[in-house]
Structure 1
Amino acid sequence: MPFHFFTSFARLPLVFRVLIISVSLIFAFGSIVHLLEPEQFTTVFEGVWWAVVTAATVGYGDFAPKTVLGRLSGIALIMVGAGFLASYFVTLATIAVTKQNDFLEGRIAFKGKNHIIIIGWNERSREVLHSVCNNNKALTFTLIDESLDKNPLPNKNVHFIQGRSNLDEVLIKANVYEASKVIITADPNKGELQADMGSILTLLAVKGLKQDVPCIVEILTSEQVANAKRAGADEVVQTNILTSFVMINSISSHELVTSFLDLLRQLDNRKLTFKDAPPDILNMSYMELSQLFIQDGILLLGVKRGEKTLLNPPHPFHIQTEDQLIVIMN
């Protein structure tokens, strides 16, 4: 039985072991001084109070032993108990610093829910986190990256997980089961084909753990778009198409490209979104609906009908039941 108790005690965390020893010593010396000097320490609580202030080297002087044995117990308490009490607070400080370092260096699992997981640290993920965190402080993000040593945005609502994103243990540490969305960005340190293969492998790992979580994947090569969709991508972002558009049009019209980029910057302060067609506008023409929306400060850009996206469709064009309206709202 004593061996079993000692084994169980030895398995406790260091901070609990030191705390148990310190509390035991304080209660033991408080009880001893009460027995040695019952007139000076009329209750055990007064003895415990004296033991606490003595071990803490505060020494208020409200209670003090008068006899030789009582003072010898005080000396023993200072020599033994003060060391354990100091060790307890040092251990607490060490644990706090260790936990803080583990948090910054991405070794602490995320326990929240309804968060957005962003995989990969690059300029795209940096802009997404900076923009969304500033505009919507209620959203929580979990960043997964294996190249970073610590959280790049410790002052934002971003929890960092260090590790390879295609490993189940890393995704589970990011709590992928409770995530509301996963954004997979391309690795800039790899070639385009290798980066796409890595993104698709990560997508398979995510979908293998949680099939219904929406996944947005950045794909660099057009040949891998179909594979990303087969792997379960809910949305594929081809960043090279946008880059090619800007470079091609900059050859013929620099003003057009400048205006286009300015438009993209202005969209940061406005809300580009889908809006379901309400029943009262069904069969209304696109032109009539556009004028109606302008009166409310809403700009109608186009309509998403099924898999097709129609920007400024030609007249006559009438709104149907399943249409989604592409609008910019103030």
Structure 2
Amino acid sequence: MQPTKAPDTSLIIFSQRFWHFLQREKLDRLILAIGIILGFSSIGLSLLEPDLSVLDALWWNIVTLTTVGYGDITPVTFWGRVIAIVNMFFSIVILATVSATIASILVDRKIKEDRGMTSFQVKNHIILCEWNYRAKLILNGLRFDGKTKTTPIVLIANIDSKPVDDKYLFFIQGQVSDETLNRANLAEAKTVIILGDDSLDNLARDAKVILSTLTVESINRSAYTIVELVDPGYISTCKRANADEIIVSSELSSMLIYQATINHGITNVVSDIFSSQDGNQIYKIPLPKEQIGLTFLEVFIYMKQHHQSTVIAVQKDEDGEVISNPPTHYILSEYDYLIVIAPN
């Protein structure tokens, strides 16, 4: 006895979702009304019009309903024309109703997207938590860089609407939580950036960042998590929460001011390197194959002569340990990455 073939569950699920969509948007009643009109008028025309089959009458009704009007079939009897007149008036009403319903669905979807009320199924994307002037600078920098110019970015923030017009920026309204992170498809995200909430004091702000980090890591440990702190005393706590990279904003600004005090003009160099505009910037690139096995000094000279770039650090593997200013005799291996300052 041949085993019975199991039904296609994906088709069943799609059919159920489609029917639920029709019911939610009240399209099921409209479809039923169209079906009744087409059925009765097709049968009536086929009975009243000579040499007109039910299929030909159905064809004429569909052409009339859609206001195409090919003119290949024309009612010739009195009662056939009466049915045609009634059908034409119903066609105008139905076409207007269908157009209004579709427009309403599209407008409603657009409003929900702008207000952060929907979910997104993007992949290999960046999740940006919180919106402030730093988030705007981060977004501008990512869009200026060719590698992330079209990368999907999902913003989770407790603001009223999508803050900028960016076709690759998707907005979810609310605090960082299991629910909002699942709506942002954290399970398939590549990078998560957690910024501090400027509306809170420093203690509460860092506590919220740590809690958000724990929530992110509990859902997707493979996502690269970058967090922003105010107090360097919470670095160890963030490390225990498995944050991949920790940036202490107050410490960075303080160090820049200190360096500017004793070395005037040094911040101009730092600004040029980290700016997303024209000028020299920091890049991470794979070690050229022909440089594998050479010393750091040899690679340094090669990169300067051939690419007008200065090697300032080496990273072991793509996400491994970073060695700043390695010794001249350091041997570079196949999976090393170079961190360079270059004009492009």
TM-score of the pair, normalised by structure 1 = 0.82
Residues of 2 paired with 1:53 and 1:276: CA distance? 65
AA aligned to 1:169 is: E
Structure 2 residues not aligned, in runs of 5+: 1-18
AA aligned to 2:330 is: H
One of 152, 158, 161 as aligned partner of 1:150: 161
Indicate how the Cα distance of structure 1 residues 25 and 85 shifts in structure 2: closer, same or farther if over 3 A, else same: farther
Residues of 1 paired with 2:152 and 2:118: CA distance? 16
The answer to whether residue 196 in structure 2 is matched with residue 182 in structure 1 is no
Residues of 2 paired with 1:235 and 1:184: CA distance? 10
The answer to whether residue 140 in structure 2 is matched with residue 126 in structure 1 is no
Contact 2:291 2:299 in 1 (8 A): no
Indicate how the Cα distance of structure 1 residues 8 and 275 shifts in structure 2: closer, same or farther if over 3 A, else same: closer
Which residue in the other structure is 1:74 paired with?
84
Cα offset for 1:308? 6.7
One of 311, 314, 319 as aligned partner of 2:325: 311
SS of structure 1 residue aligned to 2:283: strand
| Aligned residue runs from structure 1 range 227-238, under 5 A | 227-238=237-248
AA aligned to 1:290 is: F
SS of structure 2 residue aligned to 1:34: helix
TM-score of the pair, normalised by structure 2 = 0.79
Residues of 2 paired with 1:134 and 1:242: CA distance? 23
One of 90, 93, 106 as aligned partner of 1:96: 106
The answer to whether residue 43 in structure 2 is matched with residue 24 in structure 1 is no
Contact 1:277 1:325 in 2 (8 A): no
Number of aligned pairs?
317
Indicate how the Cα distance of structure 1 residues 248 and 320 shifts in structure 2: closer, same or farther if over 3 A, else same: same
AA aligned to 2:204 is: Q
SS of structure 2 residue aligned to 1:107: coil
Identity of aligned residues (%): 30
SS of structure 2 residue aligned to 1:109: coil
AA aligned to 2:341 is: I
Contact 1:141 1:158 in 2 (8 A): yes
RMSD: 3.3
Which residue in the other structure is 2:11 paired with?
none
Residues of 1 paired with 2:302 and 2:87: CA distance? 84
Cα offset for 1:291? 1.8
Indicate how the Cα distance of structure 1 residues 9 and 110 shifts in structure 2: closer, same or farther if over 3 A, else same: closer
Contact 1:19 1:88 in 2 (8 A): no
Contact 2:273 2:282 in 1 (8 A): no
Contact 2:38 2:62 in 1 (8 A): yes
The answer to whether residue 273 in structure 2 is matched with residue 273 in structure 1 is no
SS of structure 2 residue aligned to 1:326: strand
The answer to whether residue 174 in structure 2 is matched with residue 163 in structure 1 is yes
Contact 2:145 2:276 in 1 (8 A): no
Indicate how the Cα distance of structure 1 residues 21 and 183 shifts in structure 2: closer, same or farther if over 3 A, else same: same
Cα offset for 1:55? 4.2
Contact 1:22 1:85 in 2 (8 A): no
Cα offset for 1:238? 1.2
Residues of 2 paired with 1:278 and 1:106: CA distance? 46
The answer to whether residue 341 in structure 2 is matched with residue 328 in structure 1 is yes
AA aligned to 1:128 is: I
Indicate how the Cα distance of structure 1 residues 326 and 259 shifts in structure 2: closer, same or farther if over 3 A, else same: closer
Contact 1:26 1:81 in 2 (8 A): no
Indicate how the Cα distance of structure 1 residues 64 and 151 shifts in structure 2: closer, same or farther if over 3 A, else same: same
Contact 1:104 1:154 in 2 (8 A): no
Residues of 2 paired with 1:324 and 1:92: CA distance? 52
